[in-house]
Structure 1
Amino acid sequence: MEACTLADLLDTLGGSAVRLLVAPAGGTAVPVHEVVLYDPHVPLPRSPGALLLAVGVGAGAAGPLVRDAAGAGMAGLVVRGDEGPVAEAEAHGLALLGVAGDLAWHQAHLLLAAAVGARPSPVGSDAALGDLFSLADAVAASAGGATAIEDRRQRILAYSTVAGQAVDEDRRQGILGLQVPDSPENTEQYRLLFAADGPVRLPALSGDGLPRLAVAVRAGGETLGSLWVVDDGSLAPDAEDALVQGASTAALLLLRARAAQELARHQHGELLRRLLDGTADPATAGHRLGFGAGAVRVAAFALEAASATPDGEQTALRLLDLVRLQCEARYGRRACVLADGVVYALLPAAGERGAERHRRFAEGVVRQAGQALRAPVRAGLGEVVALEEAGASRADADLVLRVLDDGRPVATVDEVRPRVALLRLSEVMAERRELSAGAWRRVLAYDERHGTEYARTLVCWLDAGCDMAGAARLLAVHPNTCRYRLKQVRQQLGIDLDDADERLVLWLQLRTLGGLTGGG
């Protein structure tokens, strides 16, 4: 495979997460071989073609790092934000890149390392996990027992297929469901396993079962999963050594898989962001995201503004993960992106019966997110559109989010169309002098000076279809009180309430610009 260049890296990661601030002397065709984290306690190694991440160093104070990186033969320096030591980078011919301010350094390292280490596979590919099956076979042959590799959530990622090795029903059931069966006995075994520093021997869970030899898979103190071998009494004398070596290799493979998945998620998100912004080719984006030419709908999920917390950014990222997981489970796709605090998901609409399935999906996400995040979440669903009009569906979803309330945390745009129309009218009318002028201002000013309630009476009367009894019920007053107030509006303010156009404009202005409703 050809070496990754700086141009390849920028093309893979897109423009929002990593931006080129200064091009290197050799142009963006310079090769990039690795990504190095800055450590102030360790001298920089000689690393031609490396990118140095300025961890813990502010962009404004990174000038000395440019000189050090250039002296070490590195390809570039990565700082946080859109500013940095530009003059120093230009003087030394070093590339200067900036990562988004909301991107943690470990995430930036994962993305850059994944893009540098391998050309990205097709979006959604699990090819990075393929070598785990080869590893399982190698461990099984070396240790002498059927082997399985699991992640931290006890999902079976790979298993051996060496002929002639003993298995039991627990292994068969686990492989069939790719998940270790849940039981108190299993929980205790995992507790013992993850508390141990090396391989542990565990008894059979049932009378017909077989014991296991297992070891935790760790990297840098982080537990990534576990490796299990069925022990039928004929394991090799050095089986424990084989497991330790296998766990070491599994850790590298799992880290590589995680980096590849992180890169794939980033590519999904960047592509969806561009599609919603109208800057991506719809046909190409649809193909790469796993959508055909059928109709789609955009769903928008956001934390309630009143529930904002100091760790709101992390909560929003957790919401993104939850929405992505539910999209994968329900639709087999994970076209989701977090933008400006809102999580957007592209949902396939082909075969959906109206909006009911999409609504149930959104309600399920809102319910689960509320429980998992301990914060109320709202969801707005845009109109069903063709893929090339996904941006319009996103605009609908944004408007829906703005009109939702505690009584209705989930809605489609069609369900709240009147509220959305009034919201947009209020914005347009507020911006135009000729639309914001009128009798409504005189009514509010008169109420403020005299302590009257003419404006609210007008809104209730108009909301009630000009029915005096209905207006009186909304106001909780006698109908004669309504008649008197409306008479005063005519006489004191000179408003012709017999004119249908006057009534319509007055009602719209009081409702949209005055913020009055018949209910309060």
Structure 2
Amino acid sequence: MDVCTLGDLIDVVGSPALRLHTASAGTGSPVTEVLLYDAHAPLPHAPGALLLAVGVRAAEAGPLVRAAAEAGMTGVVVRGTDGPAAEAEAHGVALLTVGEDTAWHHVHLMLAAAVDARSAQGAGLGDLFALADAIAAATGGATAVEDPRQRILAYSTVPGQPVDEDRRQGILGLQVPGSVDNSEQVRQVFAAPAPVRLPPLTAADLPRLACAVRAGGEPLGSIWVVDTGTLAPDAEQTLAQGVSTAALLLLRRRAAQELTRHQNADLLRRLLDGAADAATAAHRLGWNAVRVAAFALDSAAGVPDAERTSLRLLDLVRLQCDARYGRHACVLLDGVVYALLPAPEASGGAGGPEARTTADRRHRQLAEDIVGRAGPSLRVPVRAALGAVVSCRDGVTASRADADAVLRLLDDALPVAAVDEIRPRVTLLRLADVMRERGELRAGAWQRVLDADAEYGTEYARTLTAWFGTGCDVASAARQLSVHPNTCRYRLKQIGAQLGIDLDDADERLVLWLQLRVLAEPDAPA
């Protein structure tokens, strides 16, 4: 079972709803339950509990903190900001606070839900395995629980029960081997209102007793029992009863997954903004190195209902990430869908350069697949940008900045790109942003060049840009401009004579080229 820690709670609930004032034992302390303090009942011995100090003023909570420590509790939550931090520190109890106007019942529901969801992440599958063992023992046949996509969620381990090759391969890959005949049997199972007996698919296989798992008519999965001809007489009844239990467990698992998804999305939102505790987030997500991927609708396409279409894009990105990585975090922010993708360590990680190259290829393929699927599905072009691989503990905001910059440079000719593939263009884009913001960086000879072109109809800016771009080679620049080399030489001489620009000075050339490139060109980075 995945134990909820104090750090998990703080990260899930987040400031300002819940603030940690002191935790001498560290944020890794387990939180097993959330209790409401009752002044008229003795404090229970509850190791790992978080006690809500209902009816106790924060400044007067010292005795309650000491009592909580004696009861083995992890921490105490008080309302207000002047809690007994010194007592909490001395007794090794975490002290947390909530706002003065926060209702205790709301705090209890919020924290209890977070603890239950965190603990339920590891519990759902364990209960399904126990159910599979129980059905196998009662019916006399090896049992497997599948989801609607025929992925095996749990299987029985009762000794001595015969199995066939399909069962072995399914367990090894956690996926039922696909075939036309198998798909037809699955269709029969989901079409039947009760358990059905199915013949073997091949001479080497065994028959099955199977039943669909539903909730309100919605298919949640199915249960399959290997039939060796010696099943218990009431096997069908036993399986039908097991299906009811499976429905509850699968619904519980789904609810835990949805809450976890919501929590991960909120965690990613705060990571991207730099507001989350990065160390706790890395522990929670289980990743050391990550890359931010950004997906956005083409702003030039003029989408009538951009908000709804962006939500559909979020669903598509989430589905593709889930299929490839299982555990992931996706969120929609300001019209951009961000996904956090796991990666090998940025430097010196396990697997070395080969592992990083493989991860880069997988990330790129994911982005290309999403863009390829989303365009026809949403009827609008989609762009995908990949930031740099960074440490989950301190680099997520930088990877997001990379992805945001790449997005600004994408178009129909380049719908997908990673920052390392177009690093020079990204650097120029960022320089342009800085130079436009800083007046002193916009000052210089480039403006005199543009003023001369505007007043006298010269083409000094085009000439300089072509000359710089060809490595100061007059012949190549002249070909690019479709003029005679002597015309190009004359213009360069006039720039020096009329505008006072020393083109023999390397620094002058560098600054002039940079300013013309990022500030003056029609296709300069926006």
Scaled by the length of structure 2, the TM-score of the pair is 0.68
Does the Cα contact within 8 Å between 1:157 and 1:178 map onto a contact in 2? yes
Specify the alignment match of 2:447 in structure 1: 441
- What secondary structure is seen at the aligned counterpart in 2 of 1:513? helix
Query: After superposition, what is the alpha-carbon deviation per residue over 1:340-376, rounded to whole angstroms, capped at 9, x for unaligned?
Result: 4222335231133185334212222123223443454
Cα 1:304/1:447, change in 2 over 3 Å: farther
Q: Write the mapping of 1:371-520 to structure 2, written as runs, cut at 5 A.
A: 371-374=372-375, 376-382=382-388, 384=390, 387-404=393-410, 413-448=419-454, 452-490=458-496, 493=499, 495-516=501-522
Specify the alignment match of 2:224 in structure 1: 228
* Cα separation, 2, equivalents of 1:93 and 1:193: 49
Does the Cα contact within 8 Å between 2:194 and 2:211 map onto a contact in 1? yes
Does the Cα contact within 8 Å between 2:295 and 2:385 map onto a contact in 1? yes
Amino acid at match of 1:459: T
Cα 1:315/1:384, change in 2 over 3 Å: closer
Q: CA deviation at 1:409?
A: 5.5
Does the Cα contact within 8 Å between 1:272 and 1:337 map onto a contact in 2? yes
Unpaired runs of 5+ in structure 2? Answer: 19-33, 38-99, 376-380
* Cα separation, 1, equivalents of 2:340 and 2:455: 47
* Cα separation, 1, equivalents of 2:112 and 2:319: 20
Specify the alignment match of 1:353 in structure 2: 353
Aligned length: 425
* Cα separation, 1, equivalents of 2:124 and 2:302: 37
Specify the alignment match of 2:235 in structure 1: 239
* Cα separation, 1, equivalents of 2:440 and 2:8: 52
- What secondary structure is seen at the aligned counterpart in 1 of 2:520? coil
Q: CA deviation at 1:432?
A: 1.9
Of 183, 186, 196, 1:187 maps to 183
Of 258, 261, 267, 1:262 maps to 258
Amino acid at match of 1:380: L
1:300 aligns with 2:293: yes
Unpaired runs of 5+ in structure 1? Answer: 21-27, 32-89, 98-110
1:317 aligns with 2:337: no
Cα 1:135/1:509, change in 2 over 3 Å: same
Cα 1:126/1:339, change in 2 over 3 Å: farther
- What secondary structure is seen at the aligned counterpart in 2 of 1:300? strand
1:284 aligns with 2:272: no
Specify the alignment match of 2:158 in structure 1: 162
- What secondary structure is seen at the aligned counterpart in 2 of 1:388? coil
* Cα separation, 2, equivalents of 1:297 and 1:166: 44
Q: CA deviation at 1:225?
A: 0.9
Q: Name whichever of 246-255 and 258-267 sits farther off.
A: 258-267
Amino acid at match of 2:460: Y
Amino acid at match of 1:137: D
Amino acid at match of 1:505: V
Cα 1:316/1:453, change in 2 over 3 Å: farther
Cα 1:219/1:387, change in 2 over 3 Å: same
Q: CA deviation at 1:185?
A: 0.6
Does the Cα contact within 8 Å between 2:329 and 2:339 map onto a contact in 1? no
Cα 1:385/1:235, change in 2 over 3 Å: closer
* Cα separation, 2, equivalents of 1:146 and 1:287: 37
Q: CA deviation at 1:96?
A: 7.9
Query: After superposition, what is the alpha-carbon deviation per residue over 1:111-148, rounded to whole angstroms, capped at 9, x for unaligned?
Result: 989926825229xx533111112212222344443321
Does the Cα contact within 8 Å between 1:298 and 1:381 map onto a contact in 2? yes
Does the Cα contact within 8 Å between 1:320 and 1:338 map onto a contact in 2? no
Q: CA deviation at 1:302?
A: 1.9
Scaled by the length of structure 1, the TM-score of the pair is 0.69
Specify the alignment match of 2:135 in structure 1: 139
Of 125, 137, 150, 1:129 maps to 125
Does the Cα contact within 8 Å between 2:11 and 2:281 map onto a contact in 1? no
Cα 1:281/1:447, change in 2 over 3 Å: same
* Cα separation, 2, equivalents of 1:391 and 1:132: 39
